[in-house]
């Protein structure tokens, strides 16, 4: 993989099982509740900001995965971001993958469905972001990711 990629996942696997599956193949996977993912760029940007935070030394968490969750949630506190973004077994999930490796989602009973990570005003509201001007929800989610970096510096 050239850089992180985002995808939507549907199926009945446990989130920990999905992460372990990718990890065994040399791929770092961060999973999210798809109901709070406002487009693929939202979680890819969160991953890139997390990597930059670790490189710059302004990370707030111990792992890039948790830092990615903080950025995706637009939250500075893990105790707020994690419950907000945590995926739930049997519900659609968003995933951001980093690393090279081969995988077949059917091995773990999952299917790729990128429609579950499409942006919407409802997802934006679930993140706690208002949209009174009717702007593109995906753009506002990206702004929230970028704003967190400014707040942390």
Task: Write the pLDDT tens digit of every residue in 38-51.
Answer: 999 999 999 999 99
Task: Indicate if the pLDDT at residue 1 is higher than 60.
Answer: no
Cβ–Cβ under 8 Å, residues 88 and 102: no
Kindly indicate the confidence band of residue 152, based on its pLDDT and cuts at 50, 70 and 90: low
Kindly indicate the confidence band of residue 153, based on its pLDDT and cuts at 50, 70 and 90: low
Longest dimension (CA), the chain: 45
Cβ–Cβ under 8 Å, residues 91 and 34: yes
Could you give the percent of the chain with pLDDT greater than 90?
Answer: 88
* pTM score, whole prediction: 0.93
Kindly indicate the confidence band of residue 10, based on its pLDDT and cuts at 50, 70 and 90: very high
Q: How far is Cα 149 from Cα 153, in angstroms, rounded to an integer?
A: 6
- CA-nearest of 10, 15, 111 to 69 is 15
Q: Where are the domains of the chain?
A: 5-152
Domain 5-152, CATH class in plain words: alpha beta
């Amino acid at each position: 993989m050239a850089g992180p990629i985002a995808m939507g996942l549907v199926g009945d696997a446990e989130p920990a099982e999905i992460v372990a599956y990718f990890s065994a193949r040399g791929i770092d996977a961060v999973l999210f509740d798809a109901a709070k993912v406002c487009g693929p760029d939202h979680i890819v940007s969160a991953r890139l900001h997390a990597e930059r935070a670790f490189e710059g030394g302004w990370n707030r968490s111990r792992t890039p995965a948790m830092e990615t969750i903080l950025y995706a949630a637009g939250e500075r506190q893990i105790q707020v971001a994690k419950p907000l973004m945590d995926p739930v077994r049997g519900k659609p999930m968003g995933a951001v993958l980093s690393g090279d490796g081969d995988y077949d989602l059917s091995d773990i009973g999952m299917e790729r469905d990128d429609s579950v990570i499409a942006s919407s005003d409802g997802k934006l509201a679930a993140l706690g972001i208002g949209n009174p001007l009717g702007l593109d929800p995906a753009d506002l989610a990206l702004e929230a990711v970028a704003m967190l970096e400014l707040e942390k510096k």
